[in-house]
Structure 1
Amino acid sequence: CTSPHRVVSLLRSVLRDVHQSPEQLRVLDVGAGNGMVGQELRAIGAEHIVGIDIIPEAAIATARDRPGVYDAYHVADLTDLDTATDAELAQDRFNCLTTVAALGFGDIPPLAFMTAYEHIRTGGWLAFNIKEDFLEGADDTGFSRFIRGLIDAGAIRMHAYRRYCHRLSVTGDRLFYVAMIAQKVKQTPPEVAARVHD
């Protein structure tokens, strides 16, 4: 899977365009899995990287395969954060949210993404990808509707949108994803949040 490299490279390119150093990034990596995205972020010099995943085995795999990539790694449900984890995330002053190869499949519901989004400072970056089909109406998780809601409400500003081959399927077909880089303009507007809770 090429997605971790593709998404982080696109983020780095956008940062270069706006004359911002990757070394200023304080990243919340949602659906961190085994740390592939964290490793890419570390390679571009991100200052502080925190992973979060609902699956305990993901944290174990990261500690085994990529020790030291994350400054902290939380096993937590973003749709039902405990007070201590929520407070710890708030103290990290994140200015970047990444989530790669986990959206639109129901792995990370829109409510979880919205909760993570609320932990990102205004002016911070969003770097994520989604299967191309899900942008064309095949997403029944509501994630693409949530992103469109943020765009329409002026809550995020899109900076880059790139289609690429994520990997080959077992039958040899090319599976296309879209990487997106956006900047947070404001918190989730109430009307957009209400649709997430529906």
Structure 2
Amino acid sequence: MADVFAGVRLLGPPETDGEYIALSEHETVHLHEYTRIYAVPGLYEHVVQERLQCRSPQVAAAGFLRAAASLGLDPGSMTVLDVGAGTGLVGELVRGGGVAQVIGVDSLPAARETSLRDRPGVYADYVIGDFLRPDALREALRPYALGGLVSAGAFGGTHATPQALDNALAVLPAGAPVAFTIDERWMDESDPDGFGAAIGRLTAGGRLTVLERTRFRHRVTTTGEPIFYQLVVGRTG
């Protein structure tokens, strides 16, 4: 695989105004230009997982499996919601950990197409939708007895606001294990509109019990600087 992508170069400040990938001498794309990157089988994993050493999928999946075990739940009897499922790596990891069935959700049709192409059979269903507009999603998810939620980097920034997290947790029954990773920059509890404050409100209101909250290196930038996220593991109330 490395030979296939031998010409791919990572670019970043001060060379550009953000994180970019040079696919060839004629084409440069932004790191988050997912539709273009997903179009090349294996490119996203090569750049983000291998070159940029992204660990969020592994950390989120492991956190979810720990939560299920701590609650005495059998993963083999669970249907788990994977929010921001992307190319399907998180779903593959939790399935590998014994989860019976995973339902993917992503706002990008290209993500669904890529997951079905590269990881067929991982998801029992893969729904296109946005938890900021949850009505259609709730209807699509109604047939499934969801028993947990896992998400690697989907919440935060331009991806999804605290309201999306609130709406996603609302589709779960009480006592369901959850695990998600969020950029630590959005976890400042002094920001009333941030995720730190939102998690505080969910906890105070009894809708979420936090079992773990840990800091980890999510990945490095295209210039090698570390990016830190937080893992939140809990159960719904």
Which stretch of structure 1 is more off in the superposition, 44-53 or 12-21? 12-21
What is residue 189 of structure 1 aligned with on the other side?
A: none
Provide the secondary structure at the position in 2 that maps to 1:121: coil
- The one-letter amino acid paired with 1:180 is V
Select which of 148, 155, 180 maps to 2:232. 180
Provide the secondary structure at the position in 2 that maps to 1:103: coil
> Is the 1:56–1:75 contact (alpha carbons within 8 Å) kept by the matching residues of 2?
yes
Q: Larger helix proportion, structure 1 or 2?
A: 1
Provide the secondary structure at the position in 2 that maps to 1:122: coil
Provide the secondary structure at the position in 1 that maps to 2:173: strand
What is residue 85 of structure 2 aligned with on the other side?
A: 32
Q: CA deviation at 1:82?
A: 5.0
- The answer on 1:9 being equivalent to 2:62 is yes
> Is the 1:31–1:108 contact (alpha carbons within 8 Å) kept by the matching residues of 2?
no
Provide the secondary structure at the position in 2 that maps to 1:91: coil
Q: CA deviation at 1:140?
A: 8.2
TM-score, scaled relative to structure 2 = 0.71
- The answer on 1:162 being equivalent to 2:214 is yes
> Is the 1:133–1:139 contact (alpha carbons within 8 Å) kept by the matching residues of 2?
no
Provide the secondary structure at the position in 1 that maps to 2:142: helix
| Root-mean-square deviation over aligned CA pairs | 2.0
- The one-letter amino acid paired with 1:131 is D
- Alignment gaps of 5+ in structure 2: 1-53
- The one-letter amino acid paired with 1:184 is T
Structure with higher Rg: it is 2
Provide the secondary structure at the position in 2 that maps to 1:182: strand
C-alpha separation between the residues in 1 aligned to 2:181 and 2:193?
A: 15
What is residue 109 of structure 2 aligned with on the other side?
A: 56
- The answer on 1:119 being equivalent to 2:171 is yes
Q: CA deviation at 1:33?
A: 1.0
- Alignment gaps of 5+ in structure 1: 186-198
Which stretch of structure 1 is more off in the superposition, 133-142 or 109-118? 133-142
Residue identity (%): 30
What is residue 23 of structure 2 aligned with on the other side?
A: none
> Is the 1:166–1:176 contact (alpha carbons within 8 Å) kept by the matching residues of 2?
yes
Q: CA deviation at 1:66?
A: 0.9
